Amino acid sequence: METVYVVKGMTCGHCAGSVTQEIAALPGVEHVDVALDTGKVTVKSETALTEDQVRAAVDEAGYELVGVA
């Protein structure tokens, strides 16, 4: 399953790394790809994640989940 989210506040590789690390720790996540220029975060997972799960991970990294793209 692949879902694209929009995350606000990421400006550098460190930002992308923080968001990637937090989302990748969620159960079932197989791959996370961050596009800094658009703020889009593509998440591939075995099963569907809830928006609340992803929002909590993004919040933990210090950024804001705007929603699903």
pLDDT for res 69:
92
pLDDT digits (tens, 9 = 90+) for 34-53: 999 999 999 999 999 999 99
CB within 8 A of 39, min separation 6: which ones?
6, 7, 8, 10, 66
User: Is there a contact between 56 and 16 (Cβ–Cβ < 8 Å)?
Assistant: no
Query: Which domains does the chain possess?
Result: 2-68 (3.30.70.100)
Q: Per residue of the chain (69 residues), give pLDDT as tens.
A: 999 999 999 999 999 999 999 999 999 999 999 999 999 999 999 999 999 999 999 999 999 999 999
pTM, entire model: 0.95
The proportion of the chain whose per-residue pLDDT surpasses 90, expressed as a percent, equals 100
